[in-house]
Every structure is written in structure tokens, then in C-alpha cells.
A and B are shown apart, each in its own frame.
Chain A
Amino acid sequence: MKAIAALARKEVRQLLPVLVGLLALVLWSEVDGLLLHSPDEYAGEANGWLINAHAGQLDALATMVVGLLVAYNLLPGEYEQRTIEFLYTLPVRRRTVFLTKYAVGVAVLTATSALGSLLGAMHHALSASSFGRQIFPLRLQLLAFALGDVALSFVVVAYGMLLCFFRRLGWILFLLIWLTLEVAERLWPPLRLLHVRALLDVDHRGLTPLVDGRAWLVHAVMAAVALALAARFWLSDATGFAGFYDQLRRQPGLRRTGVVLGLLGATFVCAALMAVWSESPPTTEQGLPQRTLAFETERFHFTYREGQAEQAMIVIREADRAYRRVRTWLPGPEGDRIVADLTDTSSEHLGIAGWKKMRIDLRPKSPALLRHVLYHETTHVLAAQEQGPSARRAALHFFSEGLAEYVAYELEPQPAERAHARRIAALARARYQLRLEDLMDPGLFLARHDEYLLYALGEVWVAGLVDACGPKLPARLVATFGDPTLPQSLAGLELWRAALQRNGCDLDRVMSRYEQRLSAAERSATSVPTASARWLGEEGGKLRFELSVQARTAGPWQVTLRLRDDPSTPPDEVVSYTTSLSAGATTRLEVSPPGRAWKSFEVQVGAARDADTRPFYTRWRSVTQ
């Protein structure tokens, strides 16, 4: 027992640099929290993986890296410097030495994590707000300690003990495994369980966090296996795996063999990935000639599939005219030809555009819609040329889309569609109390709302800009937002205020016009059909919903139900189900759960006249089973 205690003390001393480093980080955070800010105004009171859905993923990754650091400080050095042989002379078994090292690693990591948690609890206790003092009750603190501090340390140090056997290669292996899991999760979402970040990724029912027990079980098993393998590798003699690994490191011949095997493995992985990425045409296009053709006009270079020549020509014939007309809104020097790729096939957009390039999906759509998309994307291309690469792209997303919609509607009038879009904007504005500031943070906005609202509300905003300060303002604003002298620190309304003031315009006047337009559209917004989806439960692995439509006329209406795991779900992983329904009637729909769904998923529903009409989608609602 004494020997073990001495061994443990020695390991703690060995881990002292890591411990000091971690404590320095804690100290830095506390200097910021306790001195540079008032301790009773704890800015991070709402932080914490147990009280925020999906907020613990980064914590888990950070702990994993620290766990690796701890393991690397425990074992490889002892073997390099042969000090391990002294340890083996102690009157304890080798396995005990190994397990003591593991236990000390876990204890050090647990202690620093627990210190962080304790300081967090102290911050909560100091909070000047009664809400802040009660936000993190004792039961949650104990759960956070048990899982995030203790159990996670057991897991990550076990992984570290295995990876550090491979010395520097272990870091590369870690990166490789991490990358592989990222790709694997994207290809088959249930594999997210294998990622260490799944451990601290919780859903909630009300205030109760729902920890993913499956992930903990999987990682408990994997950590046990990793620890057993690590023991096997580290403790084996010269004839075991450790001996083989040492030989591999020392003998060039064996090393070359290893490299060749690695290359073969890499080739195999790449071949598998190539097979995944090779595209096959969407089902609607099967049977059509797939040869890619090119066509050049004065202003565009088009590529399109032979089988879609008819639709392509609708776009091509209009293209140069569209360019000239959009130029009247966004004047500038004649640029290079725009590359227009008409081979795009997407279930979630009609077109995309950027610097001198656009992609448009030509699959059967009305000529008017295709022309609208052409004008919209051309506006994006010309605006991007004027603005250049900008760090503010995300914050200006609604303006960018709004401008493209506005110009497209101005140049290719579609009064009914424009009025419908504005009614959708007005309805959303009124129903969800959307403020202009909400549009300026697309991340938060899209966590709750349909992306199309950014287009519709953005279009009304640009109309407000033109109403208030004239038709030349949008083009001048595009240039202003690309101006590097516009302070980077500006964001939100202050950014708009500064940009508008530079152009002799007034944010408040524009907001006034914007609101007036929305109020005008709101009067007729009752004509927009709205749908609802009532969650009935799960049966046989299927999610059951009852759908209904509220509309002035009977219909039938196309009702679309959309499902996703959470706000981080990529747009192309959102799944949609469409059915036809009359107003006032209800129907039941059974659908498969989204890819990663555990206890929670999100749902929204919308209704429209037909497939070419934009539905008004409800907000994303979370459903916890």
C-alpha cells in the first residue's frame, strides 16, 4: 500500500506541469470573471452543458485533448528514459503500476474539472440575480460533477493511455479518428454515438436534462477495451506488441513496410470515399441524356445537361438581358463572363451564387420561376463583385437575399408571388414578433425559423430602403459594406446605422418604412394558409403526426412536414414529407425519425397551393419523446 501511495505521489509530481498549465487556464478565466468583470454579474451563468441543449460538444472535445495530454505525460517519457524499469523494481505488480498511473491521471483531470465546476457554482452563488442563483440547482451540479468531471475523465484518460502508446503517431491517429468520425456521422448519422462529444450532448424535457445513456454505455465499453489494450501494449515484454512496435520504430525495413501498409490503407479508404462521392443522377432525371453541353453568351458561360436543353434555353435566352437590367440597379464596371452551371440538383434550393458564378437547378419548373431565379442569382453575383469578400456575410445574409429578391421582382414583375411573399413576411412578423435585429443573426434566426423568411423580410427591408432614401441606396450600401474602413467591431443595428449615415440616410426612417410595408401586407395575411402538426407519439419506429390546414378556401392544399434533429442539422439533412389536405380536414402521417434523433427532434409544417408556391412554415418546434 505504501509503495502504491509513493507511486501515486510520484505520478502527481510528474503531472505537475500539466496541472500548472490547467490551473493557469482556470486562473485566467477567473481573473476575467472575478476581476475584470463584476463577480455578481456572471456573464456565463447560462453556460453549462446540462442546462443548454447541445452546448457540451466543445467541452467534451476539449476534455479529450486534455486527457490525451495527461496520458502523454504519464507513460511515453518513462519508457523513453527507461525510468519505468525503476518502477518495475518496486514491490508491486506491473499492472498495479499501470493502473496507478491511470488512476492518478483520472484524479488530476477530475480535480481540475471539478475545480472549474466549483468555481462555476461559486459564480452562480454570487449572482446578484435571484434567477442566476437558482439556475444551476444542486442536483444538476452533482450530475455535472459525476458525468462531466468524473466519468468523462475515466473515458478520455483511457483513450489517451492507448493512443499515447503510439507516441507522436498517436496524435495523428487521434486526428484521423476524429476526422473519420466527422465524415462517418455525416454519411450515417447514428454513428455520432461513437464520437466523444456525444457524451455531453443532452436533450431536455423542460428543465430536466436527458443524458444519452447509449453514448455513455458505448464509450464505457470502448474505454474499458482501450484501457485493456493499452495495458496489453504497455506491459507486454520484448516479444509482445510493445516489442514489435519498438522494432517498427527502430528498423528501417519494418518502418518501410509500415509505411507501405499505411499507404495501402489510405488508398483503400480513399477508394471507399470516392465510391461514396461519385454522384448518380437524381431519380427524376434518369433516362435523360446526361452529357454536359456548354453555351456562351455575351455575359455568361453556361453548362447544362443535354436532357435539360429546353429549360436551359429559357434561362440562356434571358441571360444577357437580365445582366444589363440588373446592372441598372447595381452599376459597376463590366466584369468577366459569369459562369452559370445549370446542372445543379438540390432538394433545398433553386439556385446559389457567389463570386462570378451561379448554379441553378433546372428540373421542371415554370419559365417565370426560372427567370426569377436567374435575376435573383445574377443580382447576387454582381453584388458580390462590388462588395468583395466580406467578413460580414452572415450578418448581411438577409440584406443580400432581400436585395436579390427585390431586384428580381422589380425587373421581372410577378405581382401575385411578390404579394404572397410579403404576406408571409408580415404574417411571420406579426405572429412571432420578429424584429429587425433578429434577422441580423442568421444563426439564431434559423435555429427557430424557416430560411425563406430571411428572403421575404429582406425583400421588404430593401423596399423600405428604397422608399426612404431612393433607388440608388442599395447599390451604395453594397459598396459601403465592402469598405474596409467601416469598423469591424460594428454589428447589428449599429452597423446599419453607421452604413446608412455614410450614405446620408437614416436607419429610423428606413425602419419606419419597413414597418409600414409590413403593416400594409399584414391586412391581407389572413389569406395565407397555415398548417399545424400535432404530435401523436411514436409507434413501431415511426413518428406519428396529425396534420391540419386552416385556410379561407377549401383547397386542396399541399401540406409539407419537415423534420430535423436540431438546429445544427445541415440544410440538406432536413427531411420533408408532403401530403394533400383540404382546409378543416385532418390526416395522420407516419414518418421516419430524422437521422440522429434520440429523445428530441424538431418539426415544422407549412401549407401552400401547389409545389411552386412558397408555404408559410411554422417555427421549428422541439418534440421530446
Chain B
Amino acid sequence: MVFVDGPATMIITRTLLAKELRQHGPALLGISALLTVAFSMGRTLMNREARVLSALEVVSSFALGPLVAAALYLGHRLVVAEHYGRTQRFVEALPVRRGHMALVKAAFGLAWLELWAACALLLAAASASTEPIGGRFLGILAARLGLYVFALWGVVFLLGFFGRLRLPLGGGLVLLAVLLDRATAWHLHNFGPLALVERTTFPFERQHFPAGALAQSAAVGAAALGIAWALSRVREGGIVEALARPLSRRELSAILVVAFGALTAFAALDREPAPPPYAFSSDRVLREGLVEIGYLDDDLRPAAAALSGRMALTLAAFSRALGVSFPPVRVVHGPEVPVDLPRVVRSHPTEGLVLRVNLAGTGPGAHTRVVALALHALVWSRSRGRAGLETKHWLLDGFAVHFAEHGLEPAPPPVEPDRTLLRALVATALVPFGEPLLRDYERTAERLGDDVTGALAASGWRTLESRIGRERALALARAALTRPGTGDVRDYLYERRHPMPRLFEEATGWAWPAFLQAWSEDLARLRTRPAARALLAELPQGQFRVRVDSPAGVAVEARLTTPLAADTTCTVRHRRLPPHDLPFSPETLEEVKFVWPRGERSLARPVADQYGPGERAFVALDCDLPELGCWARLAAERVTAP
């Protein structure tokens, strides 16, 4: 074949351009119509938006949306369809170099896209009547947009030469960019082409050419076009020719398998990033063993020291009892945290715990509550939440509360009611004791509140320990609570093989129903003790309910059988619920405190102006029991506001 040079090249170029124009002209006009509509729609939508800083922002959106779609379509028509349809062979029969043809196609597509980018820019600039748009600013905008289009077209054009591999390759590139963006300090939105049309800077940078991003974009575009040009020439275009057919089913399957495997591997590896190391920057910190307490205020140092000493000892004993080692526990003073509701800020199996606690709390059992929370959270995070599954949550709660109170000391048998057992009796006075309380433990905790529920669970541990001995009870705790969680199907399979009743029987040698029976008997016996009778007599007795009726709305209502003997501080706790029922954190409950005066027999307390008709809400009435250092939840319901 004879190739022509010199002036004839111009003629050939023109001829090729005319051929492209004839072949793709109507399609280009059609796309132009669509781009015009898309631009107008974008402009109209932007005009409706209240928070648009510049009319030129539409160009940025246009460049990242419709223009990319147009480039993909054009790339398909100019390169892919030509090779797939084998019409390329007719053109190759002409006395023209392959590289020349590729360059003409590249130039044709680029010119058309640049033309459209320029149109969009000019249209937007014309409509930006209150923007000072000078020559330099327009130059910067044009350079940014022009080189963005150059890079975009370069990549699209190059991908077209990969024929059937273009989509997997494109997908792979995007995935790689996203991974780099997530895992390294390199960020996609700061890189070349995307940085050029970044909506937060594109319409506003009036003085400086973003040299780095411009150079990167030029390099990307030039490199991509260069590779495309080279590909079109390698082995006389044999590679491109070989790639130019649709994927066979086998190839498609292989690609899907690879993609599927890569996604699975990525999902498996990317599940649990470790949090950054925690460090106190203040010098108001006490350290003892695994415990660090940041008290922030010198007045709180004694309270911090007392808690630190107790917590360090208990943690060490807890670790020995369960035969596992735990990560550090850090406690930070939080003045805003309710004394009865310390919070877990961070819980990680290796990085440890961070608790936010109000160290100013001096009420009875304040430290026990914090220590119990720490023990609970340590086990929870070690097992990745498995120790807190509903079937065994009572055991975790009971063991944590019990250990926080008694440590490794042998607990007194449940003969005379102490504070924890009295709380447990309050629980059974509010809801009848039975297996469903443990089976639906999440509902029990919601109904009774955390303190009373924890005490009820701890009373079960006391029964257990008194009947089978400490060692066997600890064996149960070790079997049920210490397995490190894996966070995947292995946890589930383990649970299936070791359901709680069987695990209980294996560790304790005691049948689950027999234990429940014994527990129930212990509680019944305790209820007859004078101290218990005295306390339960002070508990408001009567009917309590959450009322929903129109027009009063949502309210808590109580009718007592006997009037209150003393003023009682009560709290209405409530929160909005989604239109489905799942457990929620008690921290999210809103509170309205009030005093229920002595001598009163009834109470009607509306939750005013909080819930609109049809909204779901959880509403509870909690009244303080000062001698127990906690409150009793007299009523609790999930309701729909009328």
C-alpha cells in the first residue's frame, strides 16, 4: 500500500473529517438537542435552589453529568461501533496511516466536546448578570473546562480501543481510584480533571490558574490519546481488532467471577478499621493498672481516685475470673452526663474502652454503676456484641452488676434482701417473673429500665452461685461470655451449636427450667422479708398507663389505690420512634421531671406538643426510689399519637 505525505495529508484529513461528520452528524445534532435540554433543566433547577452561590455552578454540574454521558456515547460511536461493525476495515483500505485515522477521530470528538463545553460556559456566563466576569476569569474558566474535557475525552477514547474489555477496565479504574481515595492521602476530588471542575472552586477562582491540576489533566489526556494512538498502530491494529467483539459468555462469566471475588475480598477486609490511638492531653489524669481517669477539674480528683482504685481492682479480678485479658479502660469526666446514665464513647476489642461519666455523682451505687458498665462493655466488645445476644444478655448484665458489687468476694446467699435484691423485687412487683422476661430481654429492659433490669439479672446470678457454687457459675460465665467474636457466620454457627439452655446445663449441670424455678422461689421468699415488704409498700400501687386519645394527645395516667405517703420525684421519659419497632438506647430518651405531691391519688401528665397525629412514641413514667438509688418504671408503652 502506498501512503501519501505532505499537502495530501491535509486533503485526507479533511476527507476523513467530512466522513465522520456525514456519518455521525445527525447523531451529534441529536445529542446536541439533548445536551441543550439537559443544560436548560440544570439551569432551571439551579435557579429554583435557594443556596446557589454562582450561576456558573451549572457548568460544573454539566461537565460532570451530561458531558460525560455525551463523551461516552461519542466514544462508542467513533471507536467501538466502527470496530465492532467492521466498517473500520473499509477505511483501513484507504491509503491512510492507521495513526492518522486515530488522530482524526480523536480530534473530531475532542473538537465537538470542546465546542459544547464552550457553549455551556458562554451560556452560563451570559446568564450570570451579577458576576464580575473579566477576561482573566473567563480564561481561567476556559482553561479549566478545556483541559478537563481533554482528559475526559482522552480516557474515553482510549477505553474505546479496548473493545470488549472497556467496561471492565473502566470499572476497574474507578474502583482503584475510589480505593486510593479511601486508603491514602491522595484524594480523587483534588486530582487533575476532577479538581478542575470541582463545584466549590470552579466558578470562584478568578485570579490563579490551578497549574498543578491543569498539568495533571493535560498529562492524563495526552497520555491516554498517545496510548490510543500507539494501540491503533501496534501489530497493524491487530490488538484492537482482536478486542473488537462483544464479550463471549465465558469471558463475561470470568469477569463477573473476578469482580464478585474482588468485591467480596474488599468487603471482608474493609470491615473494621481500628480507631486512632486514644491519649489524654491533660495532666489531670490518674492511672492505675489498666484504668486511666481524666478528671479535668481538681475538685474531682478524690472522686476519680476512689473510682480508679475500685475499678482497677475489680478489672484485675474480673480478668482473672474469666481467664482472659482485657484492653485498657479510660474514663473521662463529662459534666453533662446524667449520673445514672454513664456512656460508652468507644468500645473496641483491642483499643479498649472510653467511658464518659459524671464524676460529680455521689449518689448510692454511682461507682458500682460505672464499674458494671465497664465490665459489661469489655465483654461486649471482646465478643463483638455476641455476649449481648438477647438469649444471654441477662447473664452478661447479671454477672457484670454482681461482679461490680462483690468482685471476687463470695456473695451472700439471697436470704436477706440487700439493695440489689430489693431492686430485683421492685422488678417483679412491676412485671410478673417468668421465662418470657429473659426470652424477650430487650423488651424487659425497655419496660423496667436498665438499673432494675440489671438488678433482676444479678439476683439470678446470686441464685445460681448460691446453689451450684462460685466455680461452676464462673464456668458458665466463661463458656457464655468469653468467646472472641469474629463478626461473621462463624459466630452464628457457634451459637447454633451452643444454644443458651444447653450451654447452661453443660456448664452448671443444672436444668434450665429448674434454675428458673429456683430463681422464682428465691424471689418469692425474699418478697416476704420485712425489709422487702416495707420497701414494696412504699412503691406507688395502682393502675398506670400511657393514654392516647384525642384531643388530649399522649399522656401518662395513674390511679393509686393508696395516696402517696411522701412527695415523689418522677420523670416522664419519651422519644419519637420510627414506623417500626427496634430497641433504642436509653440515652436518647427525653425527660420531663416533676414532683408528685404526697396525698395525691391520681396523676395525669400530658406529653404536650411533642408528637403529631400518627407519630410513634415511646413514653414511660419513672418515679424515684431514693432508698434504692434508682427509679422504678411504673408505666412504659410504645404508642401512636392520636
Contact = CB atoms under 8 A, between A and B. Distances in A.
Contact of A534 (B189, B440, B488, B551): B551
Which of B276, B441, B580: most chain A Cβ within 10 A? B580
Contacts of B589: 433
Interface in A216-232: none
A623 B609 CA distance: 12
A339 B40 contact: no
B47 interface: yes
B582 A45 contact: yes
Instruction: Bin chain B's interface residue count.
Output: 35 or more
Nearest to A355: B204
Interface in A129-145: 129-132, 134-136
B49 A570 contact: yes
A506 B50 contact: no
Interface in A14-57: 17, 24, 28, 31-32, 34-41, 45-46, 51-53
B296 A508 contact: yes
A602 B131 CA distance: 37
B489 A39 contact: yes
A172 B34 contact: yes
Interface in B187-233: 187, 189-190, 195, 198, 200-201, 203-208
Contact of B40 (A265, A270, A602): A270
Contacts of B279: 501
A207 B294 contact: no
Interface stretch (B238-246, B331-339, B367-375): B331-339
Interface stretch (B88-96, B262-270, B515-523, B627-635): B262-270
A301 interface: yes
A55 B132 CA distance: 43
Contacts of B579: 51-53, 204, 206-207, 209
B254 interface: no
Instruction: Bin chain A's interface residue count.
Output: 35 or more
Interface stretch (B304-312, B383-391, B397-405): B383-391
A176 B278 CA distance: 52
Given A273-B41, A339-B204, A493-B345, A625 B613 contact: yes
B487 A38 contact: yes
B33 A262 contact: yes
B50 A355 contact: no
Interface in B49-75: 49-51, 53-54
A526 interface: no
A38 B492 contact: yes
A485 B280 CA distance: 22
Given A37-B487, A46-B580, A349-B50, A130 B443 contact: yes
Contact of B264 (A31, A39, A186, A621): A31
Interface in A304-346: 336-337, 339, 341, 343, 346
Given A391-B187, A484-B186, A46 B578 contact: yes
A137 to B, nearest CB: 10
B90 to A, nearest CB: 18
Contacts of B612: 535, 602-603, 621-624
B334 A277 contact: no
B53 to A, nearest CB: 5
B446 to A, nearest CB: 9
Contact of A176 (B37, B132, B613): B37
A414 B198 CA distance: 37
Given A266-B34, A269-B37, A52 B580 contact: yes
Given A51-B579, A389-B201, A431 B590 contact: yes
Given A38-B492, A207-B640, A572-B49, A618 B187 contact: no
B185 interface: yes
Nearest to A503: B281
B466 to A, nearest CB: 29
B83 interface: no
Interface in B297-351: 297, 332-336, 345-346
A262 B30 contact: yes
A519 interface: yes
A572 B268 CA distance: 43
Nearest to A437: B345
A172 to B, nearest CB: 7
Contact of A509 (B36, B40, B296): B296
Given A433-B591, A494-B275, A515-B336, A52 B47 contact: no
Nearest to B614: A624
B594 interface: no
A303 B589 CA distance: 50
Contacts of B30: 259, 262
A488 interface: yes
A121 interface: no
Contacts of A600: 614
Interface string B570-605: 000000101111110001111100000000000000
B497 interface: no
A16 to B, nearest CB: 10
A362 to B, nearest CB: 12
Contacts of B207: 336
Nearest to A32: B267
B108 interface: no
Interface string B256-288: 100010011001100101011011111000000
Contacts of A136: 580
A577 B236 CA distance: 73
Nearest to B446: A131
Contact of B488 (A37, A339, A389, A602): A37
A72 B47 CA distance: 37
B26 interface: yes
Nearest to B186: A484
A532 B49 contact: no
B281 A135 contact: no
A268 B422 CA distance: 80
B489 A38 contact: yes
Nearest to B338: A433
Contact of A494 (B44, B276, B583): B276
Contacts of A352: 51, 53
Contact of B336 (A209, A357, A518): A518
A177 B580 CA distance: 34
A490 B277 CA distance: 12
B580 A207 contact: yes
Interface string B19-40: 0000000100110111011101
A346 B385 contact: no
Given A303-B130, A484-B185, A52 B578 contact: yes
Given A506-B280, A506-B282, A432 B590 contact: yes
B38 to A, nearest CB: 7
Contacts of A255: 26
Nearest to B195: A389
A622 B581 CA distance: 18
Interface string A87-126: 0000000000000000000000000000000000000001
Contacts of A52: 578-580
B334 to A, nearest CB: 7
A10 B640 CA distance: 52
A106 B581 CA distance: 33
B48 interface: yes
A58 interface: no
B16 to A, nearest CB: 20
6 contacts: A182-B41, A186-B48, A384-B200, A497-B276, A506-B282, A621-B610
Interface of B: 26, 29-30, 32-34, 36-38, 40-41, 43-45, 47-51, 53-54, 129-132, 181-182, 185-187, 189-190, 195, 198, 200-201, 203-208, 249, 256, 260, 263-264, 267-268, 271, 273, 275-276, 278-282, 294, 296-297, 332-336, 345-346, 356, 385-386, 389-391, 439-443, 487-489, 491-492, 495, 551, 576, 578-583, 587-591, 608-616, 640
Given A347-B50, A498-B276, 6 more contacts: A129-B583, A135-B580, A172-B34, A339-B204, A352-B53, A391-B187
Q: Give 4 nearest A-B pairs by CB, closest first.
A: A624-B614, A206-B640, A266-B33, A515-B336
